[in-house]
């Protein structure tokens, strides 16, 4: 069974993601910070890690570097979520598509 870790500072986002991603062949664990994610990766490395680009305690790139430094037989696939959608402006014709944060 595959393990997916979702790392995000928002408990609401983590709860929704966990509900969407969980299935009979995928176990989803969630972390609220980079430090928590590092602890969990050291204990049991997941197969897939989805990382919020704006973590409360560290940069996503630093977290990835530190995870890559953990000696483990599992080489996780890592994704960074960097899309921001301004819901208040989404009704405006020019703001229909999500924007990438630069």
Tell me the domain boundaries of the chain: 2-100
Determine the average pLDDT of the residues in 61-70: 96
Asked if 4 and 46 count as a contact pair (C-beta separation under 8 A), the reply is yes
What's the topology of domain 2-100? Rossmann fold (3.40.50)
**In which band, very low, low, confident or very high, does the pLDDT at 91 lie, cut at 50, 70 and 90?**
low
Closest CA to 50 of 84, 88, 18, 87: 18
Q: What is the mean pLDDT of residues 21-33?
A: 94
| Per-residue pLDDT at 6 exceeds 70 | yes
Q: What is the pLDDT of residue 5?
A: 97
Mean pLDDT of 69-83: 92
């Amino acid at each position: 069974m595959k393990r997916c870790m979702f790392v995000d500072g928002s408990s609401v986002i983590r709860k929704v993601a966990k509900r969407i991603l969980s299935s009979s062949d995928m176990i989803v664990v969630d972390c609220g910070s980079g430090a928590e994610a590092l602890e969990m990766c050291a204990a049991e490395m997941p197969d897939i890690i989805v990382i919020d680009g704006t973590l409360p305690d560290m940069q996503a790139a630093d977290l990835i570097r530190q995870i890559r430094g953990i000696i483990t037989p599992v080489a996780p696939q890592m994704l960074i979520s960097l899309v921001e959608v301004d819901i208040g402006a989404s009704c405006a014709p020019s703001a229909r598509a999500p924007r990438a944060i630069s």
